[in-house]
Amino acid sequence: MKLADTGLTVQELKAKASKYIIETYERFDFLADSAKGVYMYDEKGDPYLDFYAGIAVNSVGNCNEKVVAAVQKQAETIMQSFNYPYTVPQALLAEKICTTIGMDKIFYQNSGTEANEAMIKMARKYGVEKYGPNKYNIVTAEKSFHGRTFGAMSATGQPDNACQIGFGDMTPGFTYAPYNDLEAFKNACTENTIAIMIEPVQGEGGVNPATVEFMTGLRKFCDENGILLLLDEVQTGWCRTGAIMSYMNYGVKPDIVSMAKAMGGGMPIAAICATEEVSKAFTPGSHGTTFGGHPVCCAASLAAIEEMLDKGLAGNAKKMGAYFSEKLKALPHVKEVRGQGLLIGVEFDGLNSVEIKHKCFDRKLLITAIGSNVIRMVPPLIITEKDCDKAYEIIKSAVEEAAAE
């Protein structure tokens, strides 16, 4: 549905949203009326270069034709069945994902936080059943972000962040250690630790990639101590980091991995994949979901994943990520450019990243800011050098204006 279909003015529509929607977002003053490829369009048809892609979701481009066709076809065939019967898209997607990323089993969820809940629950149940009632603690990273439901929130190592303040006690069973500090992670583990859980690149924590030593060191330590390695690939998964899954950049494999965002090509779907042994912790009744594995979302996901693989989008993410990152280093007032593939953060010295984000918006480039000094770019993975050049010129002009104020 577009604004023109409603007979409303843009002001009238915004007034309705403000009156009725509980607001927890700092919105752009922008009506996303339609989208295609690397652009979103407002109600006047003005294009905005989309370098946040629904926050790392629209990796195959906005309204990708194959995803749209898969959604339309499946919506006309069967929409929702709960998980009692088998459905075609669920089974085909399960095979596609497990064989593509080298995992044994999948469990479908609807969002990143839910996938992380499932990952935490599976690890805890595995620990308690295999080793005894106290073996359910999980060590996670400071500055991590795992979602907004209680398990995922409690795994999130950001006690001073608005996402944790004012909600009372967090769920017990989590300990936190500084990211990329292998010794600290080892020291944080006790006899009751069943798992270590990290993001291969911290996204919301400021775009911090794991070092090779940290990731491979954690895998080794986990193997030697009967501890599970849980990777949250909600943001990094499905080609964003220059590999199909970020863990492939490190040559390690997790015991459980969570995924969401890009896997649906714009539709809400998430999952965990686990080894055969760990997956056995989930038995009938121990976990479930009404919508997880929704046929329309599974059909969209299958089309999106096939598109990513057919078009070699991991390779493009690697190439464009290197090209764009190198350019961004030439911006004035840059302290550091960091990331992996097309998950890129730019930290500024003395400039406010929220202001830069807004100045980019004024110039019709959509990006996000993390905290007060980092901007994050997670564009569709189909971008070209030309798109990067255009984005760079806009960011440069925004930074120059911010520096002059």
Ligand X SMILES: Cc1ncc(COP(=O)(O)O)c(C=O)c1O
Run of H or E including 307: helix 295-310
The distance of closest approach from Cβ of residue 259 to ligand X in the complex, given in angstroms and rounded to an integer, is 10
Task: Enumerate residues 6+ apart whose C-beta is below 8 A from 264.
Answer: 57, 270, 297, 300, 301, 304
Q: How far apart are CA 246 and CA 317, in angstroms?
A: 12
- State the residue for tokens 């599970």: 228
Q: How far apart are CA 17 and CA 79, in angstroms?
A: 28
Task: Enumerate residues 6+ apart whose C-beta is below 8 A from 1.
Answer: none
Cα–chain center distance at 87: 26
- Minimum CB distance to ligand X smaller for 237 or for 331: 237
- Minimum CB distance to ligand X smaller for 219 or for 376: 376
> Which residues would be at the binding site for ligand X (CB under 6 A)?
55, 111-113, 116, 145-147, 199, 203-204, 232, 234-235, 260
Side chain identity, residue 173: G
- Minimum CB distance to ligand X smaller for 41 or for 145: 145
What is the helix, strand, coil percentage profile of the chain, to 5?
A: 40, 20, 40
| Nearest CA among 143, 128, 144, 251 for reference residue 195 | 128
Q: Widest CA span of the chain, in angstroms?
A: 65
- Minimum CB distance to ligand X smaller for 10 or for 55: 55
- Minimum CB distance to ligand X smaller for 260 or for 360: 260
The distance of closest approach from Cβ of residue 289 to ligand X in the complex, given in angstroms and rounded to an integer, is 13
The distance of closest approach from Cβ of residue 340 to ligand X in the complex, given in angstroms and rounded to an integer, is 13
- Minimum CB distance to ligand X smaller for 203 or for 341: 203
**Residue ranges with strand state E in 68-183:** 105-109, 137-141, 174-177
The distance of closest approach from Cβ of residue 134 to ligand X in the complex, given in angstroms and rounded to an integer, is 27
The distance of closest approach from Cβ of residue 152 to ligand X in the complex, given in angstroms and rounded to an integer, is 6
Pairing outcome for strands 228-232 and 193-198: parallel
Cα angle 307, 313, 315 (rounded to 5 degrees) comes to 145
- Minimum CB distance to ligand X smaller for 269 or for 399: 269
The distance of closest approach from Cβ of residue 343 to ligand X in the complex, given in angstroms and rounded to an integer, is 10
DSSP state of 211: P
Residue with nearest beta carbon to ligand X: 112
- Minimum CB distance to ligand X smaller for 370 or for 399: 370
- Minimum CB distance to ligand X smaller for 113 or for 241: 113
The distance of closest approach from Cβ of residue 268 to ligand X in the complex, given in angstroms and rounded to an integer, is 8
The distance of closest approach from Cβ of residue 173 to ligand X in the complex, given in angstroms and rounded to an integer, is 18
What are the CA-CA distances from residue 182 to residues 123, 141, 219, 340, 390 (Å)?
Answer: 21, 11, 11, 20, 40
Q: How far apart are CA 146 and CA 112, in angstroms?
A: 8
The distance of closest approach from Cβ of residue 64 to ligand X in the complex, given in angstroms and rounded to an integer, is 19
Side chain identity, residue 159: P
